[in-house]
Chain A
Amino acid sequence: MKARRLLPRLSLHSQRALMGFAFTIPFAVGFALFLLYPFVQSVMLSLSELSLSPDGFTTTYVGLRNYHHALFVDPQFRRVFVETLGGMLIDIPAILMFSFFAATILNQKFRGRLLARVVFFLPVILGAEVFVQIDQTHYMSQALGMASKGIVDIEHMKVIFGNTTATKSAVEFLMDSINRIPQIIQASGIQILVFLAALQSIPPSLYEAADVEGATGWESFWKITFPLMVPMFMVNIVYTIIDTFTSPSNRLMMYIKSSAWARGGYGVSVAMSWFYFLALLLILGVAVALVSRGVHYES
């Protein structure tokens, strides 16, 4: 009896609140221990120099030296940073457009559709990170031009278009764009799934009504399909940006990781990843702001 008076009877509402808290508490703990705490540590690390010893690690405060080192001393960071971000600005819209297009195709009825779907989602299964690393570090296979060769060979194209300086840069740009295609297709698996799921959730009665009214397929695509897909673009833009940025197989991530165990050391590597994180937040913010203008959620 005493215990009951000490613990007042909770209303159903606060009981449920407590229950919800109990369900989500593991994440709160995990976030604090494995993300927030290391996150704070990483700020501290980026401002200090780290030395390891058998019984722990010590840090000495060095101010902004690591950031300075990352930007101005490290020989490759700036170049890799700009190149990777530039590549992403091309890749992200391309991935979105491709996955939307592929989803509309896969949503149509044609012979072999099941097989086509199986193949299109194959990259989701076969995206082993170690392969990318092997292809990049594998000088022998590159020399032989086999395992990592693009669809079109640049030497062949140079022969076709002539090897003058004027055509050279044009050909190289063209080749670069063409050789991005596999990469874009490989990165679109999840986005195709999301678009496809959304396409299948559109009630067929809408199309039937449009058909009765005499709308062509082209018209019903732009008047029915596209507007209903716009919120999905939002989901996929956010997913694509986060995925391309945090994918350990992109060049900048590899570079940052490799500099942690070499060159400048931990502090510089953390400083580099802070520049990277800020760039991610900036691009994500701009993209969300731009797209959310066009999204009208149906209430």
Chain B
Amino acid sequence: MRASVELQPLAKIRGMGMRIARHRLHPARLGSLAWATFRAVLVIGISFVIVFPLLVRSSLAFRAVEDMMDMTVNWVPRNLTLVNFQIAMKHMDYLKSVAITTLICLLLAAIEVAMCMVIGYGFGRFSYPGSQLLFGLVILSLMIPPSVVMVPLFLNFRYFTIFGLLKEPGLNLIGTSWPLILMSLTGTAKKNGLFIYIVRQYFKGVANELEEAAYVDGASPLRAFVSVMVPNAGPILMVVFLFSFVWHWNDLFYSDLFLKGMKVLPLALQSLTERFAYSWADPNIDGSHITLVSSAAMLLYIVPLLILYAVLQRHFVESIEKTGIVG
């Protein structure tokens, strides 16, 4: 017996010591235990607050109408049904809307990645008289509330004359995705100033040697950008692409302004709820349907994003840390 005790590895003996110490509950240990408990409660509580609307909507979306009148139904529906989803999909023309929205968002995100990389690179690596001023305007472009320029923008795109080049009354670009494409091409679409800022910060932090090596090998600045700088900027490309895609997907302001009449998800969801809210004259739609159907519709709206997030969540969370936005 004695021999076996002596042969015990050091780590195990240390472990025994720890166990004894835990029994005694040192004040320091008690403190960290209390903090861990407090932290766990907080994290779970905050997570609950974030997930709560999703839970409410999921609970509602699977209910039959009778459950709304049933006082015993609080969270779990008594009559599970997919009827709400069917109605919502039919009224939103779901598959078609998802396809169109995905296409538009992919196109805009691709354009914005390309343009914000170019513009941000220009601000990050070069300086010329007035470049500081122009960058100040990038920040200003973030600050102007969209409602200030909303009406003039609408009018300019409604009677689009390329600012005087075409004859009056010009083209009507409302109801097409051209206004958004034009704004993306010039880095002035939704929150593009932020992307330009992030890209600029990133390129500012890249070592000079990388670029100089390209020049020594005889590359032009454009060539250095395309073949050396961009391939090394993977994480930042990812950040801009993901945020651009998600923000366009969730956008209502510009979609409502420019895409009127197009089958895109935000407008489809908006018209669905309006249709059900003012349909008391329609005997086919029961009054309590609206909450259930719109809950189902909201879930359908976010499902594609949830899938995207599930697949790419590591990039969402970790890429910002890699971008060097901080220093």
Measured CB to CB, the residues of A under 8 A from B are: 16-24, 26-31, 33-35, 37-39, 41-42, 45, 50, 54-57, 102, 105, 108, 110, 112, 116-131, 133-134, 137-141, 144, 146-147, 149, 151, 181-182, 185-186, 193-194, 196-198, 200-201, 232, 242, 245-246, 248, 253, 256-257, 260, 266, 269-270, 272-274, 276-277, 280-281, 284
Contacts and interface: CB of A to CB of B under 8 A. Distances in A.
Contacts of B313: 118, 121
Chain A binding surface SS class = helix
A16 B128 CA distance: 8
Contacts, number: 279
Contact of A34 (B54, B186, B309, B321): B186
Given A24-B122, A45-B151, A140 B266 contact: no
Contacts of B159: 56-57
Given A16-B221, A20-B126, A24-B131, A194 B325 contact: yes
A42 B152 contact: yes
A73 to B, nearest CB: 19
A135 to B, nearest CB: 9
Given A22-B122, A34-B153, A118-B313, A248 B146 contact: yes
A144 B134 CA distance: 52
Contacts of B153: 34, 38
Interface stretch (B9-17, B18-26, B79-87, B250-258): B250-258
Contact of A260 (B36, B54, B134, B151): B151
Contacts of B294: 134, 138, 141, 147
A39 B146 CA distance: 10
Contacts of A272: 147
A260 B150 contact: yes
Contacts of B123: 20, 23-24
B298 A105 contact: no
Contact of B186 (A30, A140, A277): A30
B145 A133 contact: no
A39 B126 contact: no
27 contacts: A16-B126, A19-B126, A23-B123, A28-B134, A31-B141, A37-B156, A39-B144, A41-B155, A42-B151, A50-B151, A105-B42, A116-B43, A125-B306, A128-B302, A131-B301, A193-B317, A194-B326, A196-B321, A201-B321, A242-B143, A246-B145, A248-B146, A257-B253, A269-B147, A276-B147, A277-B144, A281-B143
